[in-house]
Amino acid sequence: MSLDTSFLAARALAIKPSPSMAAKARVDQLRSEGRDIVDFTVGEPDADTPAHIVEGAIDALRAGQTRYTPTAGTAALLKAVQGKFERENGLRFGLDQIIVGVGAKQLIFTALAASVQEGDEVIVPAPFWVSYPDMVLANEGKPVIVVCDEANGFKLTPQVLEDAITPRTKWLILNSPSNPTGAVYAKEELAALADVLLRHPQVAVLTDEIYEHLCYGEAPMASLAKVAPQLADRVLTVNGVSKAYAMTGWRLGYAAGPKVLIRAMATQISQNTSCVSAVSQAAAVVALTGDQAGVAEARETYRARRDRVVALLNAIPGIRCAVPDGAFYVYPSVQALLGRRTPQGKILANDLDVVMYLLDAAGVAVLDGAAYGLSPYIRLSFATSMSQIEEGCDRIAKACAQLR
């Protein structure tokens, strides 16, 4: 007898595939069928990993760095991460407070696996990165989704946080700069949230700072553990090399926080992936300690793309796009498109209808706001060439002009 879904654990059935990965698969399928698709779905830099990082990895391979490493990471990488946190964030961690993983994603999941018990609540501000709620569900927790309106910059406010906390609250997840909105919390905003958290000592905070180096304001990105050092013993700061150094495929993230949590995470990792690839760790050392000029250059490239895509989208009747302060996404409202009719007679009832219409009619792939917890919006990644941005927005404009 073949297995069916009754064989699967409830936690496996409680989660769904990543919408962004599903969208990428759909784009790949359409392209294989000969469709010309402008893809705004993928959240990864379009540039190659900088040459000096690749050369550092090759040197490591030639030097025989091809074996298992300590679970938490090589001594060289742990020291590089330690130096990065102190140099760029003003945060001091012991080496036993730092861990590396197969991407920041693994570390977030592992932190939840090591701490969340059945029924524990995890506050997830929406719009959210699509994986947060499912990670909580996979670990038998309860995601508590709190909506952060565009009027507040898509950011969590102290009163909304206060209202969401209960005796079962275990974690708050903060993502700044944000995927999908590009929202960036200022020091003052983090300090106000910290005042609330100080009244609730049972709540730990996971800060996802993977887009740290993609901030477009004059002030550097603020880290909660630095803004509110009195919370440091219950803050896990997560980051990685994927976005800043165009290293998504190297799968290398790092995190720092309380020793007891880091030890538990290391134990978990020792029983699943054992350790991160040795060559990826060697490459990350070069990324964190080597020439940083490419990071600033990439940020300015993204800034120009951001300004262009925002201007083009705002010129399209029916679309309204706020200017993001960080990351490489825009999250425009499509409220004014709802209720309109396509040339085929279908009424656009929600943002998913808009997404499918743009894909079918214009060959433009975007993601729906419903996947990120707040509708009616769509998410576009501008981690693509200026020519693709202009072509894609032109196609969107023509498709919207055909609506009645």
How does pLDDT run across 284-314, given as a tens digit for each residue?
999 999 999 999 999 999 999 999 999 999 9
pLDDT, one tens digit per residue, over 266-283 is: 999 999 999 999 999 999
Whether 234 shows a pLDDT value over 90: the answer reads yes
* pLDDT tens string 95-123: 999 999 999 999 999 999 999 999 999 99
Average pLDDT over residues 153-172: 98
Which of 289, 312, 329 is the C-terminal boundary of a domain? Answer: 289
Q: Chain-wide mean pLDDT for the chain?
A: 96
Question: Does 208 share its domain with 333?
Answer: no
As a whole number of Å, the CA-based R_g of the chain is: 21
Burial pattern 310-333, b for ≥16 Cβ within 10 A else e, equals: bebbeebebbebbebbbbbbbbbb
The residue written with tokens 């009027």 in the block is 151
Residues 76, 93, single domain; the answer is: yes
- Judgement on whether residues 143 and 232 belong to the same structural domain of the protein: yes
Q: Which long-range contacts (CB under 8 A, 24 or more apart) does 15-22 make?
A: 15/134, 15/137, 15/138, 16/134, 18/130, 18/131, 18/134, 19/130, 19/367, 19/368, 19/371, 20/130, 20/367, 20/371
**Mean pLDDT, residues 231-258 taken together:** 97
**Does the pLDDT value for residue 125 go beyond 80?**
yes
Same domain, 234 and 215: yes
- Give, rounded to a whole angstrom, the gap between the first and last alpha carbons of the chain: 53
- Report in angstroms the alpha-carbon separations of 326 from 118, 183, 285, 333, 397: 35, 6, 25, 18, 25
Among 289, 322, 357, residue at a domain's last position: 289
Q: Is 90 exceeded by the pLDDT of residue 13?
A: no
**pLDDT on residue 1:** 59
Q: What is the pLDDT of residue 369?
A: 97
pLDDT per residue over 357-404, tens digit each?
Answer: 999 999 999 999 999 999 999 999 999 999 999 999 999 999 999 999
Q: Is residue 61 part of a domain?
A: no
Boundaries of domain holding 85: 67-289
Number of domains observed in the structure of the chain? 2
Q: Are residues 187 and 335 in the same domain?
A: no
Assess whether pLDDT exceeds 90 at residue 58. Answer: yes
Asked, for residue 60, whether it belongs to a domain, the answer is no
- What number is the average pLDDT over the span 224-247? 97
